[in-house]
Amino acid sequence: MATVVVEPTVAERPWFLRRPRATTGWVSWLTTVDHKRIGVLYGVTSFAFFLIGGLEALLIRLQLARPNGRVLSAEAYNQVFTMHGLTMIFLVVMPLSAAFFNFLVPIMIGARDVAFPRLNAFSYWVFLAGGLFLYSGFLLGGAPDGGWFGYAPLSVRLPGPGMTFYALGLLILGISSTVSAINFAVTIINLRAPGMSLMRMPVFVWMTFVVSFLLVFALPVLAVGLVELFFDRRFGTHFYNPAGGGDPILWQHLFWLFGHPEVYILILPAMGIVSEVLPVFSRKPLFGYPVVVFSGIAIGFMGWGVWAHHMFAVGLGPVANSAFALSTMFIAVPTGVKIFNWLATLWGGDIRFRTPLLFALGFIAQFIVGGLSGVTHAIVPSDYQQTDTYYIVAHFHYVLFGGAIFGLFAGIYYWWPKVFGRMLSETIGKWHFWLMVVGFNLTFGPHHVLGLQGMPRRIYRYAPNMGWDLWNFLSTVGAFLIALSVLVFLANVVWSWRRGRTADPDPWDARTLEWSIPSPPPPHNFDRIPVVRALDDFWHRKYAEDREGRLTPVVAGGAQAPEASAGPGAHERSEGDEQASSEYGSSGHASTGAEHGSGRHGIHMPSPSYWPLVTALGLPVLCYGLIYSAALAATGGLILLAGLYGWVTEPVAE
Structural contact between residues 581 and 556, judged by C-beta atoms closer than 8 angstroms: yes
Structural contact between residues 59 and 470, judged by C-beta atoms closer than 8 angstroms: no
Cβ–Cβ contacts within 10 Å for residue 653, how many? 10
Among the options 32, 327, 335, 496, which is catalytic?
A: 335
Among the options 19, 457, 461, 540, which is catalytic?
A: 457
Among the options 56, 145, 262, 509, which is catalytic?
A: 262
Among the options 32, 123, 177, 355, which is catalytic?
A: 177
Among the options 31, 275, 443, 475, which is catalytic?
A: 275
Closest CA to 179 of 116, 222, 130, 123: 123
To the query of whether residue 97 is one of the catalytic residues in this protein, the response is no
What distance in Å separates the CA atoms of residue 215 and residue 401, rounded to the nearest whole number?
20
To the query of whether residue 295 is one of the catalytic residues in this protein, the response is no
To the query of whether residue 335 is one of the catalytic residues in this protein, the response is yes
Structural contact between residues 186 and 276, judged by C-beta atoms closer than 8 angstroms: no
For 522, left (φ over 0), alpha (ψ -120 to 50), or beta?
A: beta
To the query of whether residue 338 is one of the catalytic residues in this protein, the response is yes
To the query of whether residue 574 is one of the catalytic residues in this protein, the response is no
Closest CA to 57 of 511, 478, 496: 478
DSSP state of 115: S
Among the options 35, 37, 84, 377, which is catalytic?
A: 84
CB within 8 Å of 530: residues ≥ 6 apart: 110, 193, 194, 513, 516, 537, 583, 584
What distance in Å separates the CA atoms of residue 437 and residue 96, rounded to the nearest whole number?
20
Among the options 42, 206, 264, 390, which is catalytic?
A: 264
To the query of whether residue 383 is one of the catalytic residues in this protein, the response is no
To the query of whether residue 601 is one of the catalytic residues in this protein, the response is no
To the query of whether residue 457 is one of the catalytic residues in this protein, the response is yes
Structural contact between residues 385 and 464, judged by C-beta atoms closer than 8 angstroms: no
Count the residues in the chain. Answer: 654
Q: Measured between alpha carbons, how far is residue 184 from residues 127, 206, 381, 498 in Å?
A: 16, 11, 42, 34
To the query of whether residue 84 is one of the catalytic residues in this protein, the response is yes
Among the options 192, 283, 310, 573, which is catalytic?
A: 310
Following DSSP, what letter does each residue of 301-339 receive, concatenated? HHGGG-GGGGGGGG---HHHHHHHHHHHHHTHHHHHHHH
∠ CA 195-191-127 to the nearest 5 degrees?
145
Among the options 46, 97, 176, 586, which is catalytic?
A: 176
To the query of whether residue 583 is one of the catalytic residues in this protein, the response is no
Question: Residue 140, SS3?
Answer: coil
What distance in Å separates the CA atoms of residue 466 and residue 455, rounded to the nearest whole number?
9
Closest CA to 303 of 279, 269, 330: 330
Q: Calculate the CA dihedral of residues 602, 606, 608, 610 and round it to 10 degrees.
A: 160
Output phi, psi for 189, to 5 deg.
-70, -40
To the query of whether residue 571 is one of the catalytic residues in this protein, the response is no
Among the options 34, 56, 113, 514, which is catalytic?
A: 113
To the query of whether residue 77 is one of the catalytic residues in this protein, the response is no
Among the options 42, 77, 125, 148, which is catalytic?
A: 148
Among the options 61, 118, 233, 309, which is catalytic?
A: 309
Structural contact between residues 58 and 486, judged by C-beta atoms closer than 8 angstroms: no
* First and final C-alpha spacing in the chain: 30
List the beta bridge partners of residue 543: 553
Among the options 112, 192, 338, 541, which is catalytic?
A: 338
Return the active site residues: 84, 113, 148, 176-177, 260, 262, 264, 275, 309-310, 335, 338, 457
